[in-house]
Amino acid sequence: MFNSANELEVLEETTAEISQLSSLALAGDPPCSDNSSTGSPEKTGYPDSVYILAANIFQGIRLEKSPEKALIKYGNEPLPSSTESEDESFQRLSYELAFSALKYQDILETILIDSYIFPSTTIPHHLNSLIIVMLYDFQDRKFQARLLSNNEASIAEVLEVENLLNSFKTKLAAALARCRIKHDALSIYHILPETVRNQELRASTLPLYAWINTCKISPEEVYYTLKKNGYNKVKSVLHIDSKVFAVDQHCSDVLIFPSHLKSDLLNIDLFKDYKLIFQDKSRSLAVHSVKALLNMDDDILMVNTGSWYTVAHMSILTNNNTSKIFVCGVQSQAKDPDLKNLFTKMGCKNIEILHETFMNLDLKDHRLQKVKVILLLPRCSGLGVSNPVEFILNEHEDTDLLKDFSQGGPSEDKLHVLAQQQYEQLTHAMKFTRAQAIVYCTCSVYPEENEAIVKKALEFQDHGIKVQPYRLSPPVLPLCSLKEIHLSTDKFFRMEPSEITNGCFLSVLTRERDPSETVSVKDVLARAAAKGLLEGMELGEPSKREKKKKKQRMSLPKSSIADNSGIQMKIAEFLSRETTASANQSETLTTKTSLPQKNTSQVGSSSQVRKPSKPTTNPLVPTIMKNTSSRPYERPTNFVRPRPEDRMIPLKPIEIALPPVMLPFPSPQRIRSHIPTPHFYYRWVGPKTVLPGYLSTPSIPRRGEKPKENFPSSLPRHPRP
């Protein structure tokens, strides 16, 4: 034992060491609160209910030791908690305190043994968890007394443990100093594994990400409101201590804030009214990837969503669509009213909750027949996340992952179990035959949970199903740096943990398009009419007669080609006669019009006949002359039934007023055909030169191209005999 003078010296050294420890941003502290330029207030402790809830959490996640190595025995009975522990802020504080105690469990147990608290005192075993969490907070406060609120009700167990620690304050400080000397560390923080220390360092500087609820406010209004509150828009928020924000490069509806501004931002109405929502960027990347794969009426199935804010963000992005979002795995129906209330406050309307687990979903469930995209967010180790408490509260309910975080990562056995679960979920998602795409996203940095799972699922997918197989598709997100481009060369989207973002892995799987399934314009219009988007329009299925007509067009006999050539020769002779007789305007022009082609095709053939003429430099018709003079005549593939009567149609000369265009020929005359609309006009000047006039109809259809049908036509259509 030390004498009183030595104990005072040790206490002074211990106080200095604890000061160094508290200056570091531990998990129990607010993010970056100690690193801000304005400094942070001294810690005053937590309410009694926070200690109780933290002790119960620690009891469930503490490190189990063999009986021969166990220094302290913990009971199995949880401590009674109050109704305040159900508050979200109380839960967050309790989880942070329990996780901090878990990281330093070995050190805290050694301090309790070295200070002779154990086994000199007779404390019930079920209070030992409470002693651990309160001891961590006691040394984090530099062994100063806790400030109690007058309105707070005291809990007997908390008062008992607090009095015990105060009575051993000097011995506890001395034991802490000896522990630091034993490990030759500047502080107990440096005794932690390197992975845990790096994780805490990133957590102290990691920016805050928040997405805009565009159902309630526009981005421009958000920028204006933030500017009114003293926030300036910048390109990057790194190493800036003032009130600034930036727009994310991958997701245009996501804003970035410095981490030390969180407490100030929570007091702004934008966050109170659910117009801005804090969430990790990886979840925003996942929902934006799904949005890029959707059509207007495609439904979405979300698996293992974790945070309900992810579901709400997906709903906000599809607000202008007719899509429906199915969320599976909500086993307790008691949560339905709370969830519906939350979605109503956020303006979400297209969400449907399924109480079946994903693995138990019926593949032929009629509710899921329009699901085209599946968003799979499997339970993972989450080792790419810097703040595990946020990850546990928002994305997972399994607190055992905190144990893996405290040790720097999961064991090999635990990682194998997680990978097997991820593989089973991904292969099950591939069995939904109507789905066309799967978005697979994790917060892990282990290839065993990422690339290996996707490649294995693609390799062993069931090819017996009568659908096209899945294939790996490139990322649908923008790549904003050379590093991102390098990491995405194998079609996977990766973000490594850094000082600006958590780690993220994202893969997009899409089915190969079936060549036998083509969507026509009529199919698209029919789907739109079924949704009521085309009011007043009637769309029906093509009749058998039209289908037969289409089939005949695709397979015409060779004899029709010869007949068509003869018809073209007759047209050429007719135009030659008309050219000769054009000097005499009173002469009646006649022609035989048994041409089995559509009106739009006649224009093409007429220009083909005049090919021997010298091309004109008229700027109104250069395209037609170039197209027709460079290749021989091609027979159009669209035909209509010839006129029922082979009669002679007189063509009468008329005058047409043209725009003031300088033409090299005087007083052109027009002859209008009596063939039903659309009308085509021809002009000839002199007895020999024939030039096509300005066409008032759309451009001549190319070979094999279906002519436009948006113009009126009185010509009856009948199948070709």
Q: Minimal CA–CA distance to 281: which of 363, 162, 390?
A: 390
Name the active-site residue from 251, 328, 443, 504. 443
Beta-carbon contacts of residue 539 (< 8 Å; ≥ 6 apart) = 522, 525, 526, 529
- For 405-471, the three-class secondary structure string (H helix, E strand, C coil) is HHCCCCCHHHHHHHHHHHHHHHHHHCCCCCCCEEEEEECCCCHHHCHHHHHHHHHCCCCCCCCCCEE
Please give the C-alpha separations between residue 578 and each of 514, 585, 599, 674, 695, in angstroms, as whole numbers: 54, 10, 20, 16, 20
d(C-alpha 679, C-alpha 698), whole Å: 11
Residue 186's closest CA among 199, 202, 172, 197?
197
Tokens found for residue 26: 């531990």
SS3 602: helix
Distance CA 140, CA 516 (A): 69
Instruction: Give how far the C-alpha of residue 205 lies from the chain's centroid of Cα atoms, to the nearest Å.
Output: 26
3-state secondary structure of 700: coil
Q: How far apart are CA 15 and CA 139, in angstroms?
A: 9
Annotation says 251 is catalytic: no
Q: What does the alpha-carbon distance between residue 300 and residue 531 come to, in Å, rounded to a whole number?
A: 18
> Which residues have a Cβ under 8 Å from the Cβ of 676 and sit 6 or more positions away?
599, 713, 714, 715
Q: Give the N- to C-terminal CA distance of the chain in Å, as an integer.
A: 117
User: Which residue's structure tokens are 């080609």?
Assistant: 561
Block residue for tokens 């500047």: 186
Which residues on neighbouring strands pair with residue 55, listed in sequence order? none
Residue 244: how many other CB atoms lie within 10 Å = 19
Q: Strand 351-354 relative to strand 437-442: parallel, antiparallel, unpaired?
A: unpaired
d(CA 155, CA 52) in angstroms, rounded, equals 9
Round to whole Å and give the CA distance between 19 and 211.
37
Contact 683, 579 (CB under 8 A): no
Instruction: State the SS3 of 27-94.
Output: CCCCCCCCCCCCCCCCCCCCCHHHHHHHHHHHHHHCCCCCCCCCCCCCCCCCCCCCHHHHCHHHHHHH
User: Phi-psi region for residue 419, left (φ > 0), alpha (ψ -120 to 50) or beta?
Assistant: alpha
Catalytic residue set: 443
